[in-house]
Amino acid sequence: MALLEIRNLHANVDDKPILKGLDLTIDRGEVHALMGPNGSGKSTLAYVIAGREGYDVTDGQVLFDGKDILEMAADERARAGLFLAFQYPVEIPGVTNTTFLKTALNSVRKGRGEGELDAMQFLKYVREKAKPLGIGDEMLKRAVNVGFSGGEKKRNEVLQMAVLEPVMAVLDETDSGLDIDALKIVAEGVNALRNPENATLIITHYQRLLDYIVPDHVHVLTDGRIVKSGGKELALELEAKGYAEFTSAEAA
């Protein structure tokens, strides 16, 4: 059974159709890349998968591990093993990273039928995950994403992913706003989490990130539908030719 199966997905934002019959299947152990021009519906797909309010699914299904998740609340989906790395990580003043991570981890563990970690166990666990990402105690004590640089925010997203160990991770434009060094750290972080049991969907505008996280499949999204799928070479082709070919083909 596929890990994530999206069938004929239609979704509206403010009554405007954005996704218009999207199909996508991801198996365990795979990395997929979804590429497309601005406004093609990439972020909408990410939010629909994660369960953000205001994104109305008008038709189709999203099956996660064989189960339709569209009726599930965002936190239920997270506890089921779905993770979204945000394009714009949200700032939460007054809530420290540690409190946030601990509450999240214990919720997710509970969802998995595991016991809660106490403060000491938790700290040890987080430090272990944070170290390779270059995140020190100081950053853990700060309020979630508040005053973080672009690179820090994205590393923080990967830290959360590492801590929560999702089965299916969706990375929404995780490369945007990163310089090359930060990009490498983030990519290494993501690669380290790959295993045969989980899968990753990388949403990106550029192929740059795909030099570091090599996808098994690449899909082109334009106007709310996947118009072409292929291997990793498709990303290079897109980089060379641009999206024009696909958008005009769509128009024709």
Q: Which residues are at the interface with other proteins (CB under 8 A)?
A: 50-53, 73-75, 77-79, 82-84, 86, 89-95, 99-100, 103-105, 107-108, 111, 143, 160, 164
Kindly state the smallest distance separating residue 25's Cβ from other proteins, in Å: 22
Residue tagged 């040890």 (tokens)? 124
What b/e readout covers 56-88, taking b as 16+ CB neighbours within 10 angstroms? eeeebebbbbeeebbebeeeebbbbbbbbbbbe
Number of Cβ within 10 Å of residue 1's Cβ equals: 8
Residue 249, φ and ψ in degrees, nearest 5: -60, -40
DSSP 25: E
CB nearer to other proteins: pick between 55 and 243: 55
Kindly state the smallest distance separating residue 234's Cβ from other proteins, in Å: 29
Kindly state the smallest distance separating residue 207's Cβ from other proteins, in Å: 26
CB nearer to other proteins: pick between 61 and 88: 88
CB nearer to other proteins: pick between 143 and 236: 143
Kindly state the smallest distance separating residue 17's Cβ from other proteins, in Å: 21
Kindly state the smallest distance separating residue 40's Cβ from other proteins, in Å: 22
Residue 250 near residue 222, CB atoms below 8 Å:
yes
Kindly state the smallest distance separating residue 142's Cβ from other proteins, in Å: 13
CB nearer to other proteins: pick between 79 and 217: 79
DSSP 90: P
Residue 49 near residue 3, CB atoms below 8 Å:
no
Distance, in Å, from the CA atom of 173 to the CA atom of 208, rounded to the nearest integer, reads: 11
CB nearer to other proteins: pick between 79 and 225: 79
81 alpha carbon, distance to own chain's centre: 12
CB nearer to other proteins: pick between 156 and 204: 156
CB nearer to other proteins: pick between 108 and 226: 108
Helix axes 97-111, 150-164, angle to 10 degrees: 30
Residue 150 burial (10 A CB sphere; 0-12, 13-18, 19+): middle
Kindly state the smallest distance separating residue 227's Cβ from other proteins, in Å: 28
